[in-house]
């Protein structure tokens, strides 16, 4: 790709890489040496810059702190055995970010700033990409409003940034989920399909209550009847009932997951029947009871393919089939991992190789 613009780069004087413990990365706790910053002022995006990773200095009146004009993305990069950086579906993230921007009344970020900025940043901090099993360079692009004014209105100024976090797995073991029938993550007409901070804020208290009861995550249900499955907040839900892959249809209260889309694409190519439709909790629990529910898992960038082992509803645990016997989840997890690593042909052109 020829560059549409030059990115001004200020390098760190001393890398922190050799002080980083790659045996204890965790998820999203460690950050690489540099970050990308690009401001929107007077109706236009300025030139992006790469600078050393550092704290921000902003006014306490900054709009996003008070009114939440704040969106983000999550994607991953890997290092192949021949030393090349491989980014999984960055164009899809750039597109989704602009869908979120529109819903939050924010300016769209030009895709070349998102994509070329990311490529340059990753090339610079390539040595930070972890290579152990299940690890990746988690990439967090985000944008927030910058006006310092306490009046409720869309800001005139914004900042787009990308930071890089060498990370391990988000869920290190299979997950137990609780069906949420009281609280709501997102209602129709709300923000649910935008990747915006407010959706995550809405999930924290109910998720904490569930965690206190020993569950890792919630199955959010629809806001009006609490009958139909939405998503987990950290991932989309997928079920294999008999031989069909079933997942809630997208709506304006569900995030359009890129991993969800990749899995559906692969399943269809493998000749599997796929249904995107309303999925009721009752249908899934009945299938669990009569033995037709073969697999249940969450799909997300951070979560990848996370097997669900217990669904809890109305005081009852539904124990799902053993993870070892799950043929589709294992196959799709392996396929995605090999495409990302470059050990399997990328026939969908999902991977950008730097
Ligand atoms: C992602 O999967 O990239 C997300 O943003 C979800 C978050 C729980 C880390």
In our burial notation (b when 16+ CB lie closer than 10 A, e otherwise), range 56-71 reads: eeeeeebbbbebbbbb
Q: Whose CA is nearest to atom 8 of ligand 1?
A: 234
Taking every pair of C-alpha atoms in the chain, what is the biggest distance, in angstroms? 63
Q: Which atom of ligand 1 is nearest to the CA of 27?
A: 9
What is the CATH class of 8-169? alpha beta
The tens place of each residue's pLDDT in the chain, 354 residues long, gives: 556 778 999 999 999 999 999 999 999 999 999 999 999 999 999 999 999 999 999 999 999 999 999 999 999 999 999 999 999 999 999 999 999 999 999 999 999 999 999 999 999 999 999 999 999 999 999 999 999 999 999 999 999 999 999 999 999 899 999 999 999 999 999 999 999 999 999 999 999 999 999 999 999 999 999 999 999 989 999 999 999 999 999 999 999 999 999 999 999 999 999 999 999 999 999 999 999 999 999 999 999 999 999 999 999 999 999 999 999 999 999 999 999 999 999 999 999 999
206 lines ligand 1 (CB under 6 A): no
Q: Where are the domains of the chain?
A: 8-169, 175-341
Q: Which atom of ligand 1 is nearest to the CA of 234?
A: 8
Question: What's the start-to-end Cα distance of the chain, in Å?
Answer: 10
301 lines ligand 1 (CB under 6 A): yes
What is the CATH class of 175-341? alpha beta
Checking DSSP bridges between strand 236-241 and strand 217-220, what pairing results, if any? Answer: unpaired
Outline where the chain has alpha helix (H): 63-67, 90-103, 111-124, 197-212, 258-269, 281-290, 327-341
74 lines ligand 1 (CB under 6 A): yes
């Amino acid at each position: 790709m020829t560059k549409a613009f030059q990115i001004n780069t200020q390098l760190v004087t001393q890398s922190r890489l050799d002080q980083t413990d790659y045996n204890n990365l965790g998820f999203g706790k460690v950050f690489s040496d540099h970050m990308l910053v690009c401001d929107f002022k007077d109706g236009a995006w300025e030139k992006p810059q790469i600078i050393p990773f550092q704290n921000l200095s902003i006014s306490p009146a900054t709009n996003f702190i008070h009114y939440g004009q704040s969106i983000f993305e999550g994607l991953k990069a890997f290092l192949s055995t021949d030393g090349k950086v491989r980014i999984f579906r960055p164009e899809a993230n750039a597109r989704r970010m602009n869908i979120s921007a529109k819903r939050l009344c924010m300016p769209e970020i030009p895709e070349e700033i998102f994509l070329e900025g990311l490529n340059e940043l990753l090339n610079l901090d390539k040595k930070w990409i972890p290579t152990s099993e299940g690890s990746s360079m988690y990439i967090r692009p985000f944008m927030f409003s910058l006006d310092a004014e306490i009046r409720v209105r869309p800001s005139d100024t914004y900042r787009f940034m990308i930071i890089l976090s060498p990370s391990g797995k988000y869920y290190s073991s299979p997950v137990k989920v609780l069906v949420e029938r009281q609280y709501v993550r997102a209602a129709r007409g709300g923000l649910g399909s935008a990747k915006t901070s407010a959706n995550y804020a809405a999930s924290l208290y109910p998720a904490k209550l569930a965690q206190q009861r020993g569950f890792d995550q919630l199955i959010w249900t629809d806001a009006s009847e609490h009958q139909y499955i939405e998503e987990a907040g950290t991932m989309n839900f997928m079920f294999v009932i008999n031989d069909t892959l079933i997942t809630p249809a997208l709506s304006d209260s569900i995030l359009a997951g890129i991993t969800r889309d990749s899995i559906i694409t692969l399943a269809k190519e493998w000749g599997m029947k796929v249904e995107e439709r309303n999925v009721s909790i009752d249908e899934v629990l009945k299938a669990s009871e009569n033995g037709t529910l073969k697999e249940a898992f969450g799909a997300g960038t951070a979560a990848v393919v996370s097997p669900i082992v217990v669904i809890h509803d109305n005081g009852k645990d539904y124990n799902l089939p053993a993870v070892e016997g799950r043929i589709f989840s294992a196959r799709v997890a392996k396929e995605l991992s090999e495409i990302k690593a470059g050990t399997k042909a990328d026939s969908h052109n999902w991977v950008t190789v730097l």
